[in-house]
Amino acid sequence: MSVDLFDKMQMSNSDLGKYREVGHGYYLFPKLEGEIAPIMKFRGKDVLNWSLNNYIGLANHPEVRKADADAAKQWGMAYPMGARMMSGQTSYHEELEQKLADFVSKKRGYLLNYGYQGIVSIIDSLLGRNDVAVYDSDSHASILDGLRLHMGKRYVFQHNDMDSFDKQMQRATKKVEETGGGILVVTEGVFGMEGDLGNLKAITDFKSKYNFRLLVDDAHGFGTMGKTGAGTGEHFGVQDKIDIYFSTFAKAMAGIGAFVAGDPDVINYLQYNMRSQIFAKSLPMPMVIGALKRLDLLINMPELRENLWTIVNALQKGLRKAGFDLRKTESPVTPVFFQGNVAQGTNFLKDLRENFGIFTSIVVYPVVPKGTIMLRIIPTASHTLEHVERTIKAFSEILVKLKAGEYDAEEVTLDV
């Protein structure tokens, strides 16, 4: 028996969709208004905002705003009109690519319109039917979706578990001996949900045991990790062993777009094969010129990154000292774990927003296991130590209330 295709689209059927009725516009799809800054407006009230990936505070930097505005004035949003391969090539695109590549110690770079589509397309164009992928179980959706296009074998290793990696590499190696293909390992520099780092040192050490190429998605590491901000490979001293380095502009670069960098042969190949770039319009000029300015500041103003780490260290140390469970984060991403059901979680989030004036994102089942609630704090260089203190105090108070049963409820409600 057939059904109407749209019958299954009853929102109550999906994991997050069932919260739409009570939560839309509040827990999900909230609107933060005003200039991008630590204090923004939520439903007309000022809130201390820990929910934007504006790591080094570039989003509202006066030089960035000016570069964006000047570029928009000079070029408009339409230029260049066409895909890079056809009519969308400019010297600015090429200049940005070379500067990005130089910064991350790679020979060549190539721009991507979005990180998500870019990484899907990188994986898709690198892997043929006979090739094999080996990837971390906590990989970002864009990596998983790239792998969904892959027609050959893929093996997943347990998150950052090197015994599991070794086992999957043995299977992968056996497989490519049969198929005549090669192996691509995919992992992340910083895992964006929990802030722990990909085990890049251990993985690259396996290069002496197995023949593989390594692709690292460093979305949260670029601009935040490493001595110069060149990312998690730099942090571990293994950047030269990362064959293909990827990052988005959506985080520390406070923009939109992304890039991939590696050896010229590989980047040339990607440039002529990535469907997301061949069949889509080139990044508009204000994005490219704006990204050149952001990169210039990111490289030449290390104090931005130092400010970020001052806030990160104060926040993470303070929360840990106050007894909070932040698991294994070693990056600016600061997850705070609580035990409780979704209804309790949304109740204390509401209290935090309405009575403490603090805005964070909440992560619940199915992203984290049932019975766990995670508040995800993203510190930035623009936050202050006073913001940190206020937040630790507020978190300590809500923890007492949570333990005293003040947020107990069976159902998610919204009565604000």
The binding site for ligand PMP (CB under 6 A) comprises 114-116, 119, 140, 142, 188, 192, 217, 219, 248, 250, 258
111 versus 127: smaller Cβ distance to ligand PMP: 111
Separation of first and last alpha carbons in the chain: 44
Nearest alpha-carbon partner for 277 in 83, 77, 109, 81: 83
Min dist CB 138 to ligand PMP, Å, is 10
Neighbours of 6 (CB within 10 A): 7
- Least distance (Å) from ligand PMP to the CB of residue 222? 10
Nearer to ligand PMP, 119 or 297 (CB): 119
CB-wise, 112 or 134, nearer to ligand PMP?
112
Please, where are the H alpha helices in 77-185?
A: 91-103, 115-126, 141-148, 162-179
> How distant is the alpha carbon of residue 21 from its chain centre?
28
Please state, in angstroms and as integers, the Cα–Cα distance from residue 41 to each residue in 7, 20, 23, following that order: 38, 22, 18
Distance CA 64, CA 371 (A): 42
Q: Report the nearest approach of ligand PMP to the CB of residue 52 (Å).
A: 12
CB-nearer residue toward ligand PMP: 97 or 217: 217
| Shortest Å, Cβ 258 to ligand PMP | 5
If the CB atoms of residues 113 and 168 are measured against ligand PMP, the closer one turns out to be 113
**Alpha carbon distance 152, 135 (integer Å):** 14
Measured from the CB atom, the residue of 333 and 375 that comes closer to ligand PMP is 333
Judged by CB, which is closer to ligand PMP: 283, or 388? 283
Task: Compute φ and ψ for 24, nearest 5 degrees.
Answer: -65, 130
- CB-nearer residue toward ligand PMP: 68 or 188: 188
Of 188 and 196, the one with the shorter C-beta distance to ligand PMP is 188
Smallest distance, ligand PMP to C-beta of residue 10, A? 28
Dist. CA 292–CA 95, nearest whole Å = 8
Nearest approach, Cβ of residue 217 and ligand PMP (Å)? 5
Query: From CA 114, how far away is CA 250, in angstroms rounded?
Result: 9
Least separation in angstroms between residue 143's CB and ligand PMP is: 7
Which CB, 258 or 378, lies closer to ligand PMP?
258
Could you tell me whether strands 45-49 and 39-42 are parallel, antiparallel, or unpaired per DSSP bridges?
antiparallel
Phi first, then psi: what are they for 160, rounded to 5°?
A: 60, 15
Nearer to ligand PMP (CB atom), residue 308 or residue 342: 308
Of all residues in the shown chain, the one whose CB is closest to ligand PMP is: 115
- Residue 409 is given by DSSP the state -
The structure tokens listed for 32 are: 């933060």
CB of 113 to ligand PMP, least distance (A): 9
Distances (CA, A) of 287 to 61, 154, 279: 15, 35, 19
Residue 23 backbone zone (phi > 0: left; psi -120 to 50: alpha; other: beta): alpha
- Minimal distance in Å, beta carbon 235 to ligand PMP? 16
> CA nearest 232: which of 243, 245, 250?
245
CB of 141 to ligand PMP, least distance (A): 8
As a residue count, the chain comes to 416
Minimum gap (Å) between residue 176 Cβ and ligand PMP: 26
The residue type at 336: V
Phi-psi region for residue 13, left (φ > 0), alpha (ψ -120 to 50) or beta? alpha
Let me know: does 196 contact 173? Beta carbons within 8 Å.
no
Tell me the Ramachandran region of residue 59: left when phi exceeds 0, alpha when psi lies from -120 to 50, beta otherwise: alpha
Residue 25: how many other CB atoms lie within 10 Å: 11
